[in-house]
Structure 1
Amino acid sequence: MKRKILVMMFLSLAVVLLALSGCSSTKTDSANTEEKSTTVTDAAGREITFPENISKIAITCQGGTTHEVAIFGGADKIVAEPSMEQFPQLLKMYPQLKNATNAGSFDDINVEQLMGTQPDIALVGITSAKGNALIEGVGIPTYTMLIGSAGVDNLKQEFLNVGHMLNDDKKAEALVKHWNDTLGDLDKIVSKIPENERKTVYYTGKVITKASSGQWGRSWIEGSGGIFAVPADVTGDISVEQVMEWNPDVIVTQGGNGTADLLGDARIQDMNAIKNKEVYECPIGAFWWDRPSPEATLGFLWLAKTLYPEYTKDIDLEKETKDFFKEFYEYDLSDQEYNSFFFNKSI
């Protein structure tokens, strides 16, 4: 009888230990699951959970996204993206990008082709809800990027998110520090410029009516010491009459748009910027310097030097550019490559 009781006690104890072991195993598995995934908030305000190790990335937007992924060590992971042929310096540094499948961009997506690359995640633009929904509809997780809608602060947060996604928090933090230091130092310089010497800047495309009125253009120009020519309540296409009324001191165009059409536009020949030939085409490095991307700080420096050469003599743009490329792209930029970034060198 005693033996039977002892056996029953032993069996009961074993059941209890097994149950405890099961609970412990469940917690461990849960902890491991948590360790192997991370949740961040994307540009659309969604909480996105992604796996610890992402091996294949699809990109369907062009706003500096490829550059972020490349800087954080993910160039080899890009299996699909729009053509980067318009950025020869980027392709020179990362020739493997030429092998990525071009499955379209934004709302113009070939979903079947994209699926064929079997990405773990797709980085998509905030402006392409239709295309993004198609991608999600076939089971590919998406993370929404800011692209042209970025502001300085939320762009820095995006760097941290993408760096974390690619297991390179250290470099992401270094990039944010670079932004803080560079723009902080620049602000100390431009804050000394008297108000009566500040120049109004009109930031446009190839024709005078296609001006930027968004957050980024304003942040870029004001951060470089200029006065944004377009009033805050103006959006969309702008009439020639409005531009003539604002009469900006300087016109800046995106790299690749040229300046000839503006300088030759008979309707605006009495504008200060045209009369004084203060029309400049923004440089293109690995990306456009006037658009949100990791190297956009160089665009701030370029514009400040273009607007206020006397106040910015101590800024060595060539050194700043080469230092950036060395630290973040891990590339030694040559003198010839640096000079190729500029269309009408004003500094």
Structure 2
Amino acid sequence: MEKKVKVIILLLVVLVLAGLATHMFLTPSTVETVGSKNVTDMIGRNVEMPASVSNVVATSPPMTTVLYMIVPDKLKAVNFQWTDEEMEYVPSQYQNLPVVGGWYGTQDGSYEEFIASEPDVVIESIDEGGDGDASTVKERQEKFGTIPVIAVKDTTNVEKIGESITFMGEVVGAQDKAQQLNDFNKRYLDIVHDKSSKLSDSDKVKVYYAQGDDGLQTNPSHSTHGQLIDLVGGVNVADSAAQGNTTSGVQVSMEQVISWNPDKIITNDPEFYAKVYSDSNWGKIDAVKNHEVYLSPQSPFKWFDRPVGANMIIGVPWTAKVLYPDDYRDINMMDATKEFYSNFYHFDLSDDQAKDILLGSGLKEENL
């Protein structure tokens, strides 16, 4: 009898072990996939990547900016060096990240330096579809070898950026932070969409976007660089100079700007801003006469553009306050600035620091 019981127990053990073996080899969670997962990137490529990402780099500033906002401790390199002024609002642990260039306006990326930063994945920016994008991603993947390259849709349109932020959050394991950034963006987009839709043509202000240290380069409507003017309902005076060009800047003359006579001027160039009020030619323009010239805050990323990307999210309420301060009195720019810097630039501003940033941009204290 005892022998019979032992045989039965042995048979049961064999059956259990056989069941385990069958489970291991026939279910999707095989030993071969432990530590990795498959993702479909934003051009439809199936990419095998680590199940958990610890190190990440991106090939262009807009993507790097998003990564810095949602997962700074995993970002292992940047595309360009912060200036001393920009560094003022960068926490010390991120100030010495390697500069590896990238493939955007400068086309100065170094594959060797990217690889030396030991990324688990590389984020590659792509436009809205096209064979050129697919071929570029293929080339990147070949150059990066076994390091997975994840293609992410262009993040240069502040109204469409949410999908890419969400996807990047999923890739790097920062879903909650990505959602927080999207929620902040949606809050102010909703306000601006509502108010701008109610503007009559006679209420709209004429705006000139001055680029370069002489202020004579600009972008017309529907360009990525001037999109915040369009968004909040301003009239971009440079439309007549577009000549079908909405993607890159155009050169204009002083005479043209004087003839346009904008109500307000926005610039990203501190040199231009520093001298515009003392220049007799610019002094002929109403915006200058009325002290309505505004400098986009610069640090650690510019709020208006350059790069065009998630850094412009805080530029939405700022541009609204610049163009239509009376309509946006319900927006507290002090609170918005401190919230954005704390949550996404990982830097807690004092009241004085926030006020210095805003007053330094040309906003009047009563409009903060």
Q: 3-state DSSP class of the match of 1:105? A: coil
Q: 3-state DSSP class of the match of 1:109? A: coil
Distance 1:306 1:94, change over 3 A: same
Query: Is the counterpart of residue 334 in structure 1 residue 355 in structure 2?
Result: no
Aligned pair partner of 1:205 in 207, 211, 224: 211
Deviations 1:229-283 (CA, angstroms, capped at 9, x unpaired): 3336344423325545544322211154532455566666544434444322111
TM-score (norm 2): 0.73
Equivalents in 2 of 1:58, 1:115: separation in Å?
9
Note the C-alpha offset of 1:38.
4.5
Aligned pair partner of 2:96 in 82, 96, 99: 99
Provide the aligned length of Structure 1 versus Structure 2: 328
- Percent identity between the two aligned chains: 23
| 1:55-70 pair list within 5 angstroms | 55-63=54-62, 65-70=63-68
Deviations 1:188-244 (CA, angstroms, capped at 9, x unpaired): 334444421211222231234321245334431122231233336344423325545
| 1:194-343 pair list within 5 angstroms | 194-206=200-212, 207-213=214-220, 215-231=223-239, 233-235=244-246, 236-240=249-253, 242-254=256-268, 256-260=270-274, 262=276, 270-291=284-305, 292-329=308-345, 331-342=347-358, 343=360
Query: Is the counterpart of residue 163 in structure 1 residue 177 in structure 2?
Result: no
Q: 3-state DSSP class of the match of 1:284? A: coil
Question: Which range moved further: 163-172 or 32-41?
Answer: 32-41
Equivalents in 1 of 2:141, 2:270: separation in Å?
31
Note the C-alpha offset of 1:124.
4.1
Equivalents in 2 of 1:124, 1:87: separation in Å?
28
Equivalents in 2 of 1:84, 1:103: separation in Å?
9
Distance 1:153 1:313, change over 3 A: closer
Query: Is the counterpart of residue 85 in structure 1 residue 96 in structure 2?
Result: no
Q: 3-state DSSP class of the match of 2:119? A: coil
CA RMSD of aligned residues (A): 3.7
CA contact (8 A) 2:277 2:288 kept: yes
Q: Please, which runs of 5 or more residues in structure 2 have no aligned partner?
A: 1-13
TM-score (norm 1): 0.77
Query: Is the counterpart of residue 71 in structure 1 residue 85 in structure 2?
Result: no
CA contact (8 A) 2:89 2:299 kept: no
Q: Please, which runs of 5 or more residues in structure 1 have no aligned partner?
A: 1-13
Note the C-alpha offset of 1:108.
0.9
Distance 1:113 1:70, change over 3 A: closer
Question: Which range moved further: 282-291 or 228-237?
Answer: 228-237
Distance 1:47 1:270, change over 3 A: farther
